[in-house]
Amino acid sequence: MVNEKPNYITIAHVGIMDPSSVSLGMSKVHYTNAGIKEKGTFSINMPSVRMVKETDYCGLVSGKKMDKARLFKTFFGKLGTAPMIEECPVNMECKLVKTVDLISHDIFIGKVVATYCDQDILIEGAVDLRKSQPILFSMLDRSYWTIGEKLASAWNIGNSLKNKK
Amino acid sequence: MVNEKPNYITIAHVGIMDPSSVSLGMSKVHYTNAGIKEKGTFSINMPSVRMVKETDYCGLVSGKKMDKARLFKTFFGKLGTAPMIEECPVNMECKLVKTVDLISHDIFIGKVVATYCDQDILIEGAVDLRKSQPILFSMLDRSYWTIGEKLASAWNIGNSLKNKK
């Protein structure tokens, strides 16, 4: 929420901090930073590949000039001040817990307090990566990519090296 | 470097903070944390899909008990205290700039001071994502994935929405 209106921005610099905390690295020139600082909340909305145009658009124009929320159906969750996008298959509602000042960027560290997702991407109550069809981003070639094939199971395939010298 | 020996660990919780800073979210139970704090340096070594067994193995066993560096050829860069893995197509040498305490995890924020990579993954002096064959990781299904197809160019495909009402 910025100036009492929902606003969405595409963020390239993100991170996972621990099992329930995430980070957004946002250049201080952005319009959205003030809203996160004021409300102490934000959301992460994971678009699927079919939303690639809207996703890119939100990184091309500023909320200072354009009402980007008009592109989506907005809903609110338990925090009440973190707007979320109904069209996104996964939405995470976050409470700001720490802001790290990195000269040109504000790093907003948030605790995920609730996750909302489409029923049809769930398998046994958990989000299925393939079904959610995430958009991957690479700064190297300034491009969006899809996810490929499952390669191996983690905490598993490495066992074969355990007894080797 | 931990206890004056190279050590490597597989990290699930990582982030990009700004164009030249990265983060590692490392549970405080890990053996490696003390080494990063002592030396004030670390490296990020991006394995390719052909190293998936070794990558997983480094997350299965602790450097407290096993010498994991024996699996790789180690080299050092300009910092002198951040061992790197010759077999990885991309290596980033980092200087610790900040540690954020998140109760169960230390978040190490580092500045990338140098990047080393294989000649054969470069196109016009820049790393080609497809050629580097990165391993993607998903906690949802505790699995490793490959990258898929290029979907669209960023800061570009969204332009088509600019003039729509």
Domain harbouring A99, CATH code: 2.30.110.10
Q: Which residues contact B71 (CB under 8 A, 6 or more apart)?
A: A161, B8, B54, B57, B58
At residue A163 the predicted structure's pLDDT band, cuts being 50, 70 and 90, is confident
Nearest alpha carbon to residue A31 among A63, A5, A1, A55: A63
A56 Cα to chain B: minimum distance (Å): 5
B84 Cα to chain A: minimum distance (Å): 20
**Assigned domain for B131 exists:** no
Q: What is the average per-residue pLDDT within B19-30?
A: 96
**Assigned domain for A3 exists:** no
The strand pairing partners of B42, in sequence order, are B94
Neighboring chain A residues of B138 at a CB cutoff of 8 Å: 129
Residue B78 contacts residue B114 (beta carbons within 8 Å): yes
Instruction: Judge residue A158's burial from the number of C-beta atoms within 10 Å of its C-beta, 0-12 exposed, 13-18 middle, 19 or more buried.
Output: buried
Neighboring chain A residues of B128 at a CB cutoff of 8 Å: 140-141
Residue A37 contacts residue A99 (beta carbons within 8 Å): yes
**Assigned domain for A7 exists:** no
**Do A100 and B104 lie within an 8 Å CB cutoff?**
no
pTM score above 0.90: yes
Of B25, B49, B159, the CB nearest to A18: B25
Of B61, B141, B154, the CB nearest to A137: B154
At residue B2 the predicted structure's pLDDT band, cuts being 50, 70 and 90, is very high
- How many contacts does A have with B, using Cβ atoms within 8 A? 218
**Of A138, A139, A164, which to mutate for an interface test with B (greatest number of B Cβ within 10 Å)?**
A138
pLDDT of residue A125: 87
**How confident is the prediction for chain A on average, in pLDDT?**
95
Using a pLDDT cut of 90, give the percent of chain B over it: 93
Total of domains in chain A: 1
**Assigned domain for B53 exists:** yes
**Assigned domain for B57 exists:** yes
At residue B163 the predicted structure's pLDDT band, cuts being 50, 70 and 90, is confident
Does the pLDDT at position B111 exceed 70? Answer: yes
Reported as a single tens digit per residue, the pLDDT across A33-77 is 999 999 999 999 999 999 999 999 999 999 999 999 999 999 999
**Do A23 and B18 lie within an 8 Å CB cutoff?**
no
Instruction: Judge residue B61's burial from the number of C-beta atoms within 10 Å of its C-beta, 0-12 exposed, 13-18 middle, 19 or more buried.
Output: middle
**Do B142 and A135 lie within an 8 Å CB cutoff?**
no
At residue A164 the predicted structure's pLDDT band, cuts being 50, 70 and 90, is low
**Assigned domain for A126 exists:** yes
**Which range marks the domain in which residue A112 is found?**
13-161
Q: What is the average per-residue pLDDT within B14-22?
A: 96
**Do B100 and A100 lie within an 8 Å CB cutoff?**
yes
**Do A152 and B143 lie within an 8 Å CB cutoff?**
yes
**Assigned domain for A6 exists:** no
Residue A44: count other Cβ atoms within 10 Å of its Cβ: 19
**Assigned domain for A104 exists:** yes
